[in-house]
Amino acid sequence: MRAVSVLITVILTFSACVSSVEQAPATYCNPIDLDYTYMIYNSDRNLSYRSGADPAVVRFKGEYYMFVTRSMGYWHSTDLQHWEFLSSKSTWYPQGSNAPAAHNYKDSLLYVTGDPSGNMSILYTDDPKQGIWHTVPAILSNLQDPDLFIDDDGQAYMFWGSSNDLPIRGMKLNRENRFLVDGPVVPLFKTDSLQHGWERFGENHSDNRIAAYIEGAWLTKHQGKYYMLYGAPGTEFNVYGDGVYVSDAPLGPYTYQTHNPVFYKPGGFINGAGHGSIVPYTDDVWWHFGTMSLSATVNWERRICMMPAFFDADGILYSDNAYADYPHYAPSEKDLKGAFTGWMLLSYHKPVSVSSQQEGQAAEAEGFDAWNRPETSPDFDAANLTDENCKTYWLAQSNTEREWVTIDLEDQATVYALQINYYDHQANLYGRLPGLCHRFTIEASLDGHDWQVIEDRSQTNIDAPNAYIQLKQPVQARYIRYNNVKVPSENLAISEIRVFGKGSGKAPDAVTNFHAELHPDGREALLTWDEVPDAQGYNIRWGIAPDKLYNSWLVYGRHDLLLRSLNAGTKYYFAIEAFNANGISAMTKAE
């Protein structure tokens, strides 16, 4: 696996400054920080929330464009890290596209489609940065989660599907004649929960009453093979992921890849990696953009993640998703290939003091049945700020400059980065409003008395609902303080303040007595191990070969896991490592 131990060696202390410092490598942290669009669900209750989902990311003329559900526009980037929102100056979808498709045809035209109605024309442009789009004069009907694909020979195809009883389907289109239908509808594949454990519905694949959803087709051609991504089992669940089927032709037949799911993030602070797309960055590294489930106010409250993607020597599509919501090296750091920085979580369950706190109880998520309600905080307590749960949050009594948060790391540590995840408590906003911004300062201290500003966004105009801050130089600190200046809504609510770096102690010992007991049906395994003193949590890896441990699951606060994500009839290999604020243990293979 691509764990990287290279760290910046120059440390800024409070007693001395360094005059010349090597430029730090660029990093990112999931969920990625976009100026997500506000939406309204249930007009009677006026539930306002931010969301971004179903990202379709394409490279066009050497730059990148991202199209996201209900976003009233799209984003542009030159490096897959810094994104600028663009509004169309001509034809577009009035409430934003829904589960959009995007396709670059030989750098001549960029095509997009995804009308929320399911009946749509294909839009196209030769200059998406200018926002001038044209409409193909034809309508394609009854499409949900469309995917337009044009092969190297110019033949066009449409794939689609979003259902728990119908398969992903495809059909040929006539590119020379308004993309009209030019062939029969071809069923390709559907979920098979009796064989594919990860396709079972519910949190942790635990609900057998409802068939899993299959959706989000995305076709990629690589070295003559066609790789069809698809999402399952449901966007609101921690186990929402992307799998892949492979074929020699766009319309199949398709074969299920033995390694599945491909993009999967079931544990940690925020979960999910489904209904996404992959885009090439270099010859050997692609990037996957997928959907993460926040799903605290409503089911459809989501965020976007990115993970490096690779094709191994056997043609297997895979991702390195270990510690996927910790800082990783950015796509621009080509030699590091999206690897984990090794910066650990310093703030987990650490003591928090705050300026004020509202009394009350967090609302239950709209749309969740009783059997599927997420764990929510009974109050707006400050402890929610360090619990590694995106669904809980602290709510201040005001949104003014009087509000602050102090986290005691309980020991001196080297701080490299922070992530501030704001929460939309009764935001009462809709769409894309001008002037939204998050203003704050971050201070650090060794003793709780003398403070140094390490990040000053008191004058910024950046809208940063999931603000990620990589410090220009790491600092030695025990205390971290957030000082509020301004937030977009009437309430200051923060789900999590996450502090990353290296603690001053020892990494945990290796795990002992790690066992994997496979269920007779082959779709799940009970993993057990001895608790490791001083471990913050455990990272479990599994795969179809000793050198293909491509999937992983972060487990906090326990020493067992019922892994219900396996494919029947497949031999699996398991390994585990313990981690804490100081580092990661040696890996232990299952006995």
CA–CA dist 364, 374 (Å, integer): 8
Question: Could you give the count of Cα atoms lying within 13 Å of 475 in the half-sphere of its Cβ?
Answer: 24
Residues present in the chain in total: 591
CATH number given to 38-342: 2.115.10.20
- What amino acid is encoded at 150 in this protein? I
CA separation for the pair 409, 498 (Å, rounded): 11
Residue 335 DSSP code: G
Spatial contact of 102 and 147, defined as CB atoms under 8 Å apart: no
pLDDT tens track for 156-212: 999 999 999 999 999 999 999 999 999 999 999 999 999 999 999 999 999 988 999
Which residues, in sequence order, are bridge partners of residue 102? 112
Helix, strand, or coil here: 199?
A: helix
Instruction: Tell me the pLDDT of the chain (591 aa) as tens digits.
Output: 334 333 333 333 333 333 334 567 899 999 999 999 998 876 556 789 999 999 999 999 999 999 999 999 999 999 999 999 999 888 888 778 899 999 999 999 999 999 988 999 999 999 999 999 999 999 999 999 999 999 999 999 999 999 999 999 999 999 999 999 999 999 999 999 999 999 999 999 999 889 999 999 999 999 999 999 999 999 999 999 999 999 999 999 999 999 999 999 999 999 999 999 999 998 788 999 999 999 988 889 999 999 999 999 999 999 999 999 999 999 999 888 899 999 999 999 999 999 999 987 665 444 433 333 334 445 899 999 999 999 999 999 999 999 999 999 999 999 999 999 999 999 989 999 999 999 999 999 999 999 999 999 999 999 999 999 999 999 999 999 999 999 999 999 999 999 999 999 999 999 999 999 999 999 999 999 999 999 999 999 999 999 999 999 999 999 999 999 999 999 999 999 999 999 999 999 997
Homologous superfamily of domain range 515-589: Immunoglobulins (2.60.40.10)
DSSP for 364-403 reads PPBT--GGGPPP--SS--GGGGGSS-TT--EE-S-SSTT-
Q: What whole-number distance in Å separates Cα of residue 567 and Cα of residue 544?
A: 10
The answer to whether 345-503 and 515-589 have equal CATH topology is no
| CATH homologous superfamily of 345-503 | Galactose-binding domain-like (2.60.120.260)
Q: What is the pLDDT of residues 435-459, one digit of tens each?
A: 999 999 999 999 999 999 999 999 9
Q: With contact defined as beta carbons under 8 Å apart, do 213 and 190 qualify?
A: no
Long-range contacts of 226-231 (CB under 8 A, 24+ apart): 226/250, 226/254, 227/317, 228/159, 228/168, 228/188, 228/189, 228/254, 229/262, 229/263, 229/276, 229/277, 229/278, 230/161, 230/168, 230/189, 231/274, 231/275, 231/276, 231/291
Best CA proximity match to 237, nearest among 134, 369, 325: 369
Structure-token match 């020892």, residue found: 506
d(CA 52, CA 56): 11
Q: Where are the domains of the chain?
A: 38-342, 345-503, 515-589
User: What are 479's strand-pairing partners?
Assistant: 408, 445
- Predicted structure pTM score: 0.93
Task: Render pLDDT for 277-322 as a digit per residue (tens, 0 to 9).
Answer: 999 998 788 999 999 999 988 889 999 999 999 999 999 999 999 9
- pLDDT value at position 13? 36
User: Nearest Cα to 270, choosing from 230, 323, 229, 318?
Assistant: 323
Given the DSSP bridges, would you call strands 186-189 and 180-181 parallel, antiparallel or unpaired?
Answer: unpaired
